Amino acid sequence: MVTSNSQIAETRSIGGRMAAVKDMAGYLRSLFEVEREFVRTASTLIYRVGDIDLKYLLCQHIWESAGHARFLSERGRELSGFGKSESVRKEYCDIFEEAIRGADSMQVLAGFYQVLKPALLSAYRHYLAETHHLADWPSSKLVEEFILDEERHAAEVAPFLESVVSAEWQDHLSTCLSALGGWINETPVEALPTDFVWLGSDQAYSHSETCNRGDFPVCSSVFGADPDGDPIVREWLDDPETDARVIRIMIYVWLMMELDAVDYLATVFYDTKEAPFEMHFDLARHLWDESRHSQFGYRQLPKLGVDLSTLEHSLDLYNILVQMLPHERYAMMTMEFEAGSFPTKAKVMDRVRELNDFEADTLLAFDRNDEQAHVRYGHRWLPQIMSLFGETRPVGEFVEATRARFAELTKVFGGKTPHSLTPGERLTGRKILKLAKASS
C-alpha cells in the first residue's frame, strides 16, 4: 500500500530526527513479540486437538510464525529503537495465557484464529498504512508476505471451525485485546469492565495427561514381538529374510507414529518461556519436521492398501514423558529416541532400496537428514534448557540419569492404554505380510 506523507502526518506527530524510524521499530518490536508468543502458546493446542490434519496444519503455522518472528527480529535490529532483548511484555503474555484457557481445544482454536490472529493481520495492515513504502521498503516487503500468510492461515483453519460455538469466549478475548488498544495501538483503548475476571490469574496451566487422537483407535505401543498382535515386529525389521515390501509398510507405520514426537515436543515450548528465541525457532522447525515425517506414513500407507482406521495410535511416549520435566523430555527425544534410531533406520533404508521405490527412498532420506539435524539441536539446546531448570550435572551424566528415570516411569505410566481394537480388527504384522504379498 502506498501512503502519502500527509496521511502519515495525520497519524504520527513529528518528533526528533530519528522519530519515524523509532516509531516503526516499535511496531516491529510489538509484532515480533506477538508472533513469538503465538509460537509458545499455540503449540499447546497440538496435543489437545484430535483431528490429525489439524495437528499437521498447526505445526506448519507455528513454523511459519516462527519464521515471521525471526525476520521481524532481524529487520528490527537494523533500526533504532527495536531493543536488544527478546522478552515479551507482560500485557501480551497475559492475553496469550488467557487464550489457552478456553473450555476445550476447539474453543481455544477459535480464540486464536478468530480473535488474536485476525488482530495480528489487522496490525500488519496498519503497519503498511503507517510506514513509508520506499523509506521502509525492506520492512514493507516482509509485512506484505506475512499478510498473505495470515490470510492463508485463516482460510486453512476455517473449515475446522465451522461448527464451533464460541461467541462468548471470543468476546472475552476481544475485551482483553481492546483494553490493550490492539497489538500496535491501532484501535481505541477500552477499559476492562469492572467485573472482568482473568482466568489466567487463577488457573495454572498444565499439559493434558494424554494426547488427543480424535476418532483413531489407540493402544500403548505399535512396536512389539507378536506378529498377530503388533503392527511393527522388531525382529522382522532386523531379519534380512523379511520381505522388503513388509519393511516398507512397517517403516511407514513407524513414520506415521512420529505423531508421538509432535505431541510431546509441543509441550516444551510453553515450559521454556525464558529460553532464547533462537531455541524456540529451532524447536518450531523440529516440530514441523516431525509433522512432515508423520505425514509420510499418513499419506503413503493407504496407497499400499492400509486402512488407517485399523491402525492404532500409540500413546505411551506422551503419557510417560508428560510426567517428566521439560529438559528430561527433550533429552529423551534428542539424545535417546532420535540418536538411537539411526542404526535400525539405516538397515531399513538399505532394505527399502531393494524395491526401486524412488518416493520411499526420498522420504526416508529426508527423514534421516532431518533426524541428524534434530540431534544437533539437542547438543546445542539441551544444556541451555537444563540451565533454565537449575540442572548442573554434566550433560552425559544427566542423560544417563534421565534414561533411568524414564525406565522407572514406564513401569508406572507405560502400557496403560488398552487396545481399542481386537487383534482381528487391527493392523498387525501378519496382516502387513499379506498386504505386502498383494502389492506389486
Can you spell out the DSSP letters for 73-111?
HHHHTTSTTS-S-----HHHHHHHHHHTTSSSHHHHHHH
Residues 112 and 240 in one domain: no
Give the distance, in angstroms, between the CA of residue 226 and the centroid of all CA atoms in the same chain. 33
Q: Tell me: pLDDT of 129 over 80.
A: yes
Q: What is the mean pLDDT of residues 60-75?
A: 97
Spatial distance between the Cα atoms of 387 and 389, rounded to a whole number of angstroms:
5
Beta carbons within 8 Å of 58's beta carbon, 6+ residues apart: 42, 43, 45, 46, 49
Rounded to the nearest 5 percent, the helix, strand and coil shares of the chain are 65, 0, 30
Beta carbons within 8 Å of 213's beta carbon, 6+ residues apart: 50, 52, 259, 313, 315
User: How much is the pLDDT for 65?
Assistant: 98
C-alpha cell, 59: 505445526
Spatial distance between the Cα atoms of 14 and 165, rounded to a whole number of angstroms:
46
Q: Which residue has cell 484430535?
A: 50
Task: Answer for the pair 85, 309: CB distance below 8 angstroms, yes or no.
Answer: no
Beta carbons within 8 Å of 99's beta carbon, 6+ residues apart: 41, 108, 111, 112, 115, 116, 173
Task: Answer for the pair 295, 56: CB distance below 8 angstroms, yes or no.
Answer: yes
Q: Is residue 400 part of a domain?
A: yes
User: How much is the pLDDT for 7?
Assistant: 43
Note the pLDDT tens digit of each residue in 304-330: 999 999 999 999 999 999 999 999 999
Residues 273 and 392 in one domain: yes
Note if the pTM is more than 0.75.
yes
Spatial distance between the Cα atoms of 83 and 304, rounded to a whole number of angstroms:
54
Residues 144 and 261 in one domain: no
User: How much is the pLDDT for 20?
Assistant: 87
Q: Is residue 150 part of a domain?
A: yes
Residues 150 and 73 in one domain: yes
Residues 263 and 373 in one domain: yes
Note the pLDDT tens digit of each residue in 356-405: 999 999 999 999 999 999 999 999 999 999 999 999 999 999 999 999 99
Q: Is residue 43 part of a domain?
A: yes
Residues 255 and 390 in one domain: yes
Q: Tell me which residue range forms the domain holding 58.
A: 5-192
Residues 25 and 164 in one domain: yes
Residues 297 and 395 in one domain: yes
Note the pLDDT tens digit of each residue in 80-114: 899 989 999 999 999 999 999 999 999 999 999 99
Q: Is residue 204 part of a domain?
A: no
Residues 186 and 225 in one domain: no
Residues 179 and 252 in one domain: no
User: How much is the pLDDT for 56?
Assistant: 98
Residues 184 and 238 in one domain: no
Q: What is the largest CA-CA distance in the chain?
A: 79
The letter for the amino acid at 322 is: V
| Mean pLDDT for all residues in the chain | 94
Q: Is residue 209 part of a domain?
A: no
Spatial distance between the Cα atoms of 432 and 127, rounded to a whole number of angstroms:
55
Note the pLDDT tens digit of each residue in 165-220: 999 999 999 999 999 999 999 999 999 999 999 998 777 899 999 999 999 999 99
Residues 177 and 233 in one domain: no
| Residue 438 confidence class, pLDDT cut points 50, 70, 90 | confident
Domains of the chain: total: 2
Q: Is residue 167 part of a domain?
A: yes
